Each structure stands twice: as structure tokens, then as C-alpha cells.
Chain A
Amino acid sequence: MKFKDQFQFVRQNMKKNKVRVFMTMLATAIGCAFLIVLASVGFGLHDSLIQDTMQDRAVTEIQVHGKEVDGAYQTLQDEDIEYFESISGVKAVTRNKQLQQSPVFSIDDDYQLQTMAMTTDFPSELKAGLELSKGKLPEKDNEIIVGHDFASNLAESNISDEELYNDENQVKEEYQYDGKLLGKEIEMKVIQIEDNEEKTHTIPLTITGITEAPNREWFQDQNVYISESVLEEVEQFTGTSRGMVSTPGQEDMSSGQQQEDYYDQVTIYAKNIEVVQEISDLLESKDYASYSVVSEMEQINMMFTIVKAGLIIVGTIAVLIASIGIYNTMTMAVTERAPDIGIMKAIGAKPKTIKRIFVLESSMIGLAGAVIGTAIAYIVSMAVNFALPLILESVFQEELPPELRFSMIPWTLVLIAVGICLIVTVLSGLRPAKRATQIDVLKAMRREV
């Protein structure tokens, strides 16, 4: 008997008991929808967390904090940078030297901001993907670029702090600098204490560029990126490494480090996410202390895999309950159709054919239930994603992160759910199908079954 004929045969049989078959399908659909929706919470939260992690730091980024030598961590120097750049799969190595005091930057004598300043290697930053929102990269020693939020924090100097900041601790708009920054001359004032007296040194600089806005709304970049020669000028003035302000008795401590040129922050950018782990492993083998988001993601993935598996198992219980309905429906179908089965066996139907027809019928109920269940699950998932944030925001009066998704149904989850539904329904149809093959021809034809 050909599959197409078996399918036709099953369809005809199912039509005879439309209501019963539909109710069984509905039970399976609800079980399947429950499984998918339940597991979709795991998938949704996992995805939200991954997106959140990936927004914080680029996924191809590896931060290197130092090198372990004889149990102590050493700072990173030029030879380390050269080694990093030689590793295959590395796209760029960015490095910063941070000023050890926060200089005051003032413009037109009326606006000022005390913020961090650091040197950076612009060619490597460009390779790593640095983009300016305005202007161009510095070409001369006294040229600088500023962070995206530098201007919004540059405030009038003669206003008290209580008056200057709003409730969100940001500079009120009326006190913000509203002029042009590009090409503007700005003064950088650094200090040093000598004989308990504060001495100041002012360096005139020109702004040539402004960086792109950071990925996260709540993250502010108000740093100032200076050249190596400006850093040297500051170091000459303070007489300390990185312009550190001396406190009595500390002058000699910094002099040792002054001779060595080291980097405060070194970041390796891999060519693609696949090689990040490889590079991290290599760095670890060379005793470098490094951190990449991939290692964090591995832990997140591991945890959520367990959570998702747990949710799928719980959801499968609902499908198992639905399978009792299928077992019941199929048993009734076998009993009702016993005379027909008897006739078919009498004229030459093989037991295997009879079994296949009933297994096909339970599979079709399972498959139809899974398809309807998947559609229901998608509707429920969309409703949850739409309504739950509104409910939570109105109850807790707190805005939820925009990337947060409570429920997500990837195609893999649909495949898993449909697969589970099919396996469970085929298994629940097997016993009634076997019973059908064991029907006695003579008893069935005498209507004694």
C-alpha cells in the first residue's frame, strides 16, 4: 500500500470523527504551545542577556591587564604590544596611557570641565573601528579629540553645583556650552604640589574631532584624547610619571616607573568572533591576564542551556498529558474500526500496513497539533512581549531596558517542540496500532471485537 493511499485512507477515517479528532488535536496543540511558550522565556532572557553583554563591549574585544612574571603582575610595554600585533587573527591592538590627575579644561574662560585625559594610538584605534561623529583625527601635537559627551558636560564656571545639575545629575541645558567645539582653542590646566603649595600649568590645545556616541544610552564619554607630547609636557611639569600629583614622601616612589614606558589599558581586537577564544587561550598560555566577553558568554550560555533544557522538560509533561488523549482517541478508533480492519486483513492487508495506518493517524494528529500549537505559541509570545513590559512598568514605575525580551521563539525551539510532539504522539499511537494488527479476522467480521 503506497504512502499516498495510506494518507488518503487516514484522512477519510479522521473525517468520520471530526469533533473527537479536533479535540485531541487541540489538547496536543495546547500542550505544544505550553512547551514552546515556557521554553521561549528561557530563550528570550538568554538573548536579552547576550545582547546586553555584547552592547557593553564589542564581542571581538580582549582586554589585557598585565603579564604574570614570578607571581607578580607586570604592566604592558611596547614589546608586548608588538607581540600581540603579531598573533594571527588580531585586527588591532589599542593602548592608552592615562593621566594620573583629572585636568580642568576651560574654553573662552567661561566654560570648564574637569575630566580624564589619556593618550591613544589613533592608527590602531581606526583599525579597531573608532569613528568620529564630527571633525578629523589630530595631526599636530597640540591637537586633541574629545568624547561625545564632553560638550554637554562643559558648563558655566561661575554657577554653584546645586544650581548647575538637574535631578538626573546632568548639567542643565541652559548652562551647557552651546558654541562650536571643532577648531576651538581649549586650555588644559594641570596641577602639582610643591612645598605644600599648589602650582598650575596651562597647556593650550585645539579640538579637531568628537567621537561617536557610546553604544549605551546611559554611558557617557567625556574623556579627552591627548598626544604623547602633551603627556610629556605634563610629566615635565609635575616631575612624576603620568602627571601624578605628589603628596609628601611619594616623589621617590614614582621615579622608578618614570623610566619605563608602560600602557594602562591595552585592548586586542580579533578579526572575527571565532578566533577570540583561540587568542584568549594563547594569551593565557603566555601568562597574560586577559578578559573577553566570549568567556563571559560561555558561562551565560552554559547556564541558560541548563535552564532551557529544564523548561523544555517541564513543557514536555504537558505534551505527555495530551498524549493520553491521543492514546484514548486511537484506542477508540481501533475498537470502532475493528470490523473494517478484519475485512482488510481477510482480503490481504499485511499487519505492517494496518499498523502503519494507525501510527500515521496518530502522527497526523500530533503534527497538526504541533502546527496549531506553534501558531498559538507565537501569538502568546507576541502578546507577552507587548503586554508584560507595560504591566511591569505601570506596577513598578520603572522603565525596562529596551532590548529586554521576555519571550523569543527561535526556529530551533519550534523544531524541538514539533519533534517532541511527534515522538510522543507516535509512541502513544503505537500500542493501539499494535492492537489493531492483533485483531482476529473472524471475530472482527462477526462484530465480536
Chain B
Amino acid sequence: MITVKNLHHHFELGKKGEKSTLSVLRDITFQVKEKEIVAIKGRSGSGKSTLLHLISGFIRPVQGEIWIDGTKVTDLNETDFAAFRLQHVGFIFQNFQLIPSMTAHQNVELPLILDGTPQEKRKTIVGETLRKVGLENHGEHYPSELSGGQQQRVSIARALVLNPPLILADEPTGSLDSETEEHLLELIQQLNKEMGITFLIITHDDQVAHIGNRTIEIADGLLVEGGVTHEI
């Protein structure tokens, strides 16, 4: 599903004339198979979030290749990458990243609108997706009217609504209490089993990492490959 080959990345720091570079990722190579849940673990500043942003296409790598679902995404331009993301990748963010002026229904509907799905079909699909995450009765609520766990479920529903084969999750439980975190992790496992969705989860939390089939550890920009924790 995901292949990362010899990935290097650095950030440029300082003003013009006094620039320096900060290397964040060095020679990262790994693979994620279909239907796997892979956790990328590391301490704060280890480069794990940068790795996710590179895979997402939010930033471009200095060197190396990334392949997702058979497509070399590092060769795609901004427009093609956007189209690719819409069809192939769902996102779950730490701060949910819901649009506050839209209801839960409208937030989940957004990828369908961008995809050009007809309005009459959208209502059914959104209703069905909200039901999957247990929010069928909260469609008309605005994010501010929902709890953190409910907001994250809306975020998951938005990631699921176009049936992508891959979901990238950046600290999905970072803003949740331990009980809600547990429910959410169960939901991720359930979606993985029932729908066969591949999850790549960035976390510093051992409990989150524990649900993965495999954990990849990053330290100071270098990859420390972990073993399989559960059989697929």
C-alpha cells in the first residue's frame, strides 16, 4: 500500500544570507502492506509528523520516493496530488480539523462535494457513514456542540466517506481522555477488519501503538524498524 524509499528531508532555517539546514529525516525506507495497521512511534521532534506530512503531500521531500497504492506520489504536481488524496487517502488529525461553521453532516459531506457526487446520493452516503461511527443522531450538530470524542468520530466519518483504501492518522487520540481513546481505537480496529482499510498512525502513545500489527520507531530522523505485534 505504501512504499517509502530512501527518504531524506531537511528544513531551511534562518534569514537570507544566514541560512542553515536542519535535517529531520534521513534515509527512511519502509513498506506498509494492504489492510495493515502500522503505528509510527517516536519522541517529540523525532520527525514522525514530518514523515506523515511527506506521505500526505503537504510538504515535498528533498530526496527519495513515496509510492501509495501503486502511484509514485512524489512525482505528482499539486493539483494531481490533491485529486489523488481525495480518492485514495483519508485523514484523521489530532485537533479533528473540522470546519466550525459547518454541521457534522456538512463536514462529512465535504469530500463528496469536492468529488462531484450528486446531491441526492450524498445525503444517503453521509447518513450511512455517520451511522458507522455511531453519530447518526448528531448530523445537524455543529462541532462546538459535540464532545472531543464525537468530533473525532465526525473526522473519521469524513475520512471514510469516499471509501479510501488508506487512512493517515496524526495523533488521533492526542486530544481525548483515556476512555474515549479506548472507544476510538476499537472503532479503528473495527473499520480495519470490516472494511479492510489500511491505517498508518503517528503516535507517541504506547496504547495506540499497541493496536497496530507493526510499529515503526523513529529516533532523530532515523528509522528503527519494529516487529509485528499482531498477525494480520
Q: Is the CB of B110 within 8 A of A344?
A: yes
Q: Is the CB of B79 within 8 A of A347?
A: no
A310 → B minimal CB distance (Å):
44
Q: Is the CB of A350 within 8 A of B83?
A: yes
Q: Is B116 interfacial (CB-CB < 8 Å)?
A: yes
* Cα–Cα distance between A122 and B116 once the two chains are bound (Å): 76
Q: Is A415 interfacial (CB-CB < 8 Å)?
A: no
Q: Is the CB of A442 within 8 A of B53?
A: yes
Which residue in B99, B111, B119 is a CB contact (below 8 Å) of A348?
B111
Number of interface residues of B (CB under 8 A): 28
Given contacts A1-B116, A442-B53, A445-B93, contact A347 B110 (CB under 8 A): yes
A412 → B minimal CB distance (Å):
38
Which residues A301-344 have CB closer than 8 A to chain B? Answer: 340, 342-344
Which residues B43-79 have CB closer than 8 A to chain A? Answer: 53, 56, 58-59, 78-79
Which residue in B95, B99, B113 is a CB contact (below 8 Å) of A5?
B113
Chain B residues near A340 (CB, 8 Å)? 99, 101
Chain B residues near A344 (CB, 8 Å)? 110, 114
Closest to A348 in B: B86
Which residue in B101, B116, B158 is a CB contact (below 8 Å) of A347?
B158
Which residue in A16, A342, A352 is a CB contact (below 8 Å) of B101?
A16
* Cα–Cα distance between A12 and B93 once the two chains are bound (Å): 25
Number of interface residues of A (CB under 8 A): 23
Closest to A345 in B: B82
Q: Is the CB of A347 within 8 A of B114?
A: yes
Q: Is the CB of B99 within 8 A of A353?
A: no
A341 → B minimal CB distance (Å):
10
B103 → A minimal CB distance (Å):
11
Q: Is B97 interfacial (CB-CB < 8 Å)?
A: yes
Which residues B126-162 have CB closer than 8 A to chain A? Answer: 158
Closest to A353 in B: B114
Given contacts A351-B79, A442-B58, contact A1 B114 (CB under 8 A): yes
Count of CB-CB pairs between chains A and B under 8 Å: 61
Q: Is A2 interfacial (CB-CB < 8 Å)?
A: yes
* Cα–Cα distance between A348 and B83 once the two chains are bound (Å): 6
Q: Is B85 interfacial (CB-CB < 8 Å)?
A: yes
Q: Is the CB of B97 within 8 A of A346?
A: yes
B102 → A minimal CB distance (Å):
8
Q: Is the CB of A347 within 8 A of B86?
A: yes
Given contacts A343-B97, A343-B99, A445-B97, contact A348 B58 (CB under 8 A): no
Closest to A349 in B: B114
* Cα–Cα distance between A251 and B157 once the two chains are bound (Å): 115
Q: Is the CB of A348 within 8 A of B87?
A: yes
Interface centre among B58, B116, B119 (most CB of A within 10 A): B58
Q: Is A294 interfacial (CB-CB < 8 Å)?
A: no
Closest to A342 in B: B97
Residue-wise, chain A 76-103 has the 8 Å CB interface mask toward B (1 for contact) of: 0000000000000000000000000000
* Cα–Cα distance between A5 and B101 once the two chains are bound (Å): 16
Q: Is the CB of A348 within 8 A of B101?
A: no
* Cα–Cα distance between A2 and B87 once the two chains are bound (Å): 16
B111 → A minimal CB distance (Å):
5
Chain A residues near B115 (CB, 8 Å)? 348
Q: Is A224 interfacial (CB-CB < 8 Å)?
A: no
Closest to A444 in B: B97
* Cα–Cα distance between A340 and B99 once the two chains are bound (Å): 6
Residue-wise, chain B 89-107 has the 8 Å CB interface mask toward A (1 for contact) of: 1010101011101000000
Q: Is A266 interfacial (CB-CB < 8 Å)?
A: no
The 6 residue pairs across chains A and B that have the minimum distance between CB atoms: A348-B86, A348-B85, A350-B82, A441-B58, A5-B113, A340-B99
Question: Apart from A346-B58, A347-B86, A352-B79, what are 12 other A-B pairs with CB-CB below 8 Å?
Answer: A5-B119, A340-B101, A344-B114, A346-B97, A347-B111, A348-B86, A348-B89, A350-B79, A353-B114, A445-B93, A445-B95, A445-B97
Jot down 10 A-B pairs with beta carbons below 8 A, ordered by A: A16-B101, A346-B56, A347-B111, A348-B84, A348-B85, A348-B87, A349-B86, A349-B114, A350-B79, A351-B79
A residues sitting closer than 8 Å to B (CB atoms) are 1-2, 4-5, 9, 12, 16, 340, 342-353, 441-442, 445
